[in-house]
Amino acid sequence: MDQKFSYCALPPQSEPVIPPGIGHDRARAILQFSAKWVNGTALHYYFFDRKEDGSQVRFTNGTSRFVTWVGAEAQRQVVRDAFQVWKDLGIGLEFREVSDRNQAEIRIGFMDFDGSWSYLGRGILQAGVNERTMNFGWDLTTPYGRTTALHEIGHTLGMPHEHQNPFTGIQWDEEAVYAHLGGPPNNWTRQQTFHNVLRKLNTQEVSGSTWDPNSVMEYSFPPGLILAPEKYRNEGISPPGTISPVDAEYIRQWYPPLAPEGPPPLKPFESVPLDLASGQQADFSIAPEATRDYTFGTFGSTDVVLVLFEQVGDELRYVTGDDDSGAPRNATLKQKLFQDRRYVLRMRLYSAWQSGKSAVMYW
């Protein structure tokens, strides 16, 4: 059986630069966590909807034409359903559709000839407001299309490609892979094939030390592309195309359900000592005593990401954030707060060293 799948191709993206002199565990935490959202973040998604939303495409036969980014309602519905499937795992992130691109972290196009892709995790914030952070280049209303929608959202949540896990043990027939992906329907350059398939992720970039061939982040591969292990050489790889138990465990570990009673209060000028494990998060609710400028500070030999949200209606809106990972300084926020408004501060620890203790305070 010679199956030809259209594959997701991640766009090249700048990766975090680890300063020299940073130890292995600290570097590992930075590489793994820098793509992840702070738990409790409400991510807003928008579907491009104007007739000028699109790209001019030049074809190999020399012609060119405008190709829209606007998707049909049936295509959009598959994406909405896929967000709901992720949410139904019980994760602490929220997904909300918005009709204003300015309010959206996730901006979605359905452009033919451009493949399916998403930027990885918080990396989507680097894209301009009129740019896509995610594209679907083929019909989503098929079983494979539904898998594609789950897969691209997985990237937006910070999940990399599972077949690039350094623990796969897969030995590729590299020229066969270049030939397979260089032909239709993908027509990838060797560079794209290397970036998206053959390149192994750094062991520091993946969590755990095992490979999950059933992951929704794993591509299907027909027989003939893998030299070893024997099983995959003969059968190829055929993940079921749904969120696997390991995917679900992984994403719930990153984005656990939020406590229904809400976070404890943080009082001004009261330092709160924290003893967080790597990847853990502390949340606080804030009711300002006066309308004025405030400073939020973190203390200790730590890498943290610190994010302030404001309660607006029934959701928390991002106000400001700081990420001190890899830097010698500590995360700090300066922000005017209003007495009659309510806020939530979230602090996620990448790693801590020396005492392993940290603290947070605002004043």
By the criterion CB under 5 A, which residues form the site for Zn ion?
A: 8
In the complex, minimum distance from the CB of residue 246 to Zn ion, in angstroms, rounded to a whole number: 17
In the complex, minimum distance from the CB of residue 277 to Zn ion, in angstroms, rounded to a whole number: 29
Q: Which is nearer to Zn ion, 5 or 167 (CB)?
A: 5
In the complex, minimum distance from the CB of residue 151 to Zn ion, in angstroms, rounded to a whole number: 5
Q: Which residue is nearest to Zn ion (CB)?
A: 8
Q: Which is nearer to Zn ion, 8 or 319 (CB)?
A: 8
In the complex, minimum distance from the CB of residue 70 to Zn ion, in angstroms, rounded to a whole number: 23
Contact in structure between 324 and 303 (CB atoms under 8 Å): yes
Q: Which is nearer to Zn ion, 115 or 300 (CB)?
A: 115
Q: Amino acid identity, residue 226?
A: I
Q: Which residue is associated with the tokens 């452009």?
A: 111
Largest Cα–Cα separation, the chain = 70
In the complex, minimum distance from the CB of residue 154 to Zn ion, in angstroms, rounded to a whole number: 8
Contact in structure between 205 and 217 (CB atoms under 8 Å): no
Q: Which is nearer to Zn ion, 106 or 337 (CB)?
A: 106
Q: Which is nearer to Zn ion, 39 or 215 (CB)?
A: 215
Which two structure tokens, joined as six digits, stand for 231?
Answer: 């099983």
Q: Which residue is associated with the tokens 């591969």?
A: 221
Beta bridge partners of 303: 351
Integer Cα distance of 121 and 323 in angstroms: 15
Q: Which is nearer to Zn ion, 75 or 148 (CB)?
A: 148
Q: Which is nearer to Zn ion, 156 or 298 (CB)?
A: 156
Within 8 A by CB and 6+ apart from 65, the residues are 56, 57, 59
Q: Which is nearer to Zn ion, 8 or 111 (CB)?
A: 8
In the complex, minimum distance from the CB of residue 10 to Zn ion, in angstroms, rounded to a whole number: 6
Contact in structure between 167 and 211 (CB atoms under 8 Å): yes
3-state secondary structure (DSSP) of residue 121: helix
Helices (H), the chain: 24-33, 73-87, 143-156, 174-182, 190-193, 230-235, 245-254
In the complex, minimum distance from the CB of residue 59 to Zn ion, in angstroms, rounded to a whole number: 25
Within 10 A of 352 (CB to CB), how many other CB atoms are there?
A: 21
In the complex, minimum distance from the CB of residue 167 to Zn ion, in angstroms, rounded to a whole number: 18
Integer Cα distance of 120 and 193 in angstroms: 18
Integer Cα distance of 140 and 157 in angstroms: 19
Q: Measured between alpha carbons, how far is residue 9 from residues 98, 148, 215 in Å?
A: 26, 11, 17
3-state secondary structure (DSSP) of residue 220: coil
Q: Which residue is associated with the tokens 């691109």?
A: 101
